[in-house]
């Protein structure tokens, strides 16, 4: 987290009249940084390092499509901004840190993947769901909320000036979800095909670096 706070202090979030060292002395996390307990199948590998956390607010986007048995809402993209709240001189300061959307992954010849892009240096990570990387366990997931997930990096990219805020990401957890489930109505007949539903949701995303290589 130290590197992340350094970005906050040097990216215009903190008043430029303050020296970097003085600014850093006044910054502390208001958001809890550590990830909560998770189901066993969503745990990151031992030795993975938490880089930072972002709180997302946005929509889970669905389109009505034909299926073998009729019609169904089908997920096609997220659209959200992630923020981080820190204390500065005793005041809570909320700062957008990442945007979350669907985009082509250069590492997979343009395959569409969920994407997170840094608002500071435009570095990015594309994610794919790990095998058995989803949970609706009611001991963890709130009623009416989209599943908790763990994804692994399917591609990463540094920013144009070499920024690495997200390019060192190996795993992403989506936890503490609220809302976002597909509608129960509005996709039951041919006339509904092509309709879209943008369903509000919230979640916390945790970004991890891979364990050190032996």
pLDDT digits (tens, 9 = 90+) for 27-46: 445 555 678 999 999 999 99
Residue 86 predicted with pLDDT over 50: yes
3-state helix, strand, coil in the chain (%, to 5): 10, 50, 35
DSSP 8-state symbol, 167: T
pLDDT digits (tens, 9 = 90+) for 7-23: 554 444 433 333 334 33
Tell me the C-alpha distance between 7 and 119, whole Å.
11
Q: What is the mean pLDDT of the chain?
A: 88
What is the end-to-end Cα distance of the chain in Å, rounded? Answer: 23
The predicted pLDDT at position 69 comes to 93
Query: Per-residue pLDDT averaged across 92-104, rounded?
Result: 95
Tell me the C-alpha distance between 62 and 89, whole Å.
42
DSSP 8-state symbol, 84: E
The predicted pLDDT at position 37 comes to 96
pLDDT-derived band of residue 24, with 50, 70 and 90 as boundaries?
very low
Strands (E), 89-195: 91-105, 111-118, 124-135, 148-157, 171-179
Dihedral over alpha carbons 152, 213, 157, 117 (to 10 degrees) = 50
The predicted pLDDT at position 10 comes to 43
| Annotated domain spans of the chain | 45-209
pLDDT digits (tens, 9 = 90+) for 110-161: 999 999 999 999 999 999 999 999 999 999 999 999 999 999 999 999 999 9
**Tokens in use for 33?**
């940084």
Model-wide pTM > 0.85: yes
């Amino acid at each position: 987290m130290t590197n992340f706070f350094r970005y906050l202090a040097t990216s215009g979030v903190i008043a430029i009249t303050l020296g970097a060292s003085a600014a850093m002395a006044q910054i502390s996390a208001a958001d809890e940084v550590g990830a909560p307990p998770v189901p066993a199948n969503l745990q990151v590998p031992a030795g993975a390092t938490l880089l930072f956390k972002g709180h997302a607010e946005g929509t889970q986007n669905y389109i009505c499509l034909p299926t073998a048995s009729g019609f169904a809402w089908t997920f096609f993209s997220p659209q959200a901004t992630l923020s981080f709240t820190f204390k500065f001189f005793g005041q809570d300061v909320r700062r957008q840190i990442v945007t979350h959307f669907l985009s082509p992954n250069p590492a997979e010849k343009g395959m569409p993947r969920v994407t997170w892009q840094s608002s500071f240096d435009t570095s990015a990570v594309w994610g794919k769901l790990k095998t058995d990387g989803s949970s609706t366990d009611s001991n963890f997931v709130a009623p009416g909320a989209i599943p908790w997930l763990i994804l692994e990096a399917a591609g990463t990219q540094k920013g144009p000036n070499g920024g690495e805020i997200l390019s060192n990401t190996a795993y992403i957890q989506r936890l503490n979800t609220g809302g976002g489930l597909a509608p129960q109505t509005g996709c039951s007949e041919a006339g509904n095909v092509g309709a879209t539903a943008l369903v509000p949701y919230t979640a916390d995303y945790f970004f991890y670096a891979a364990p050190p290589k032996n």
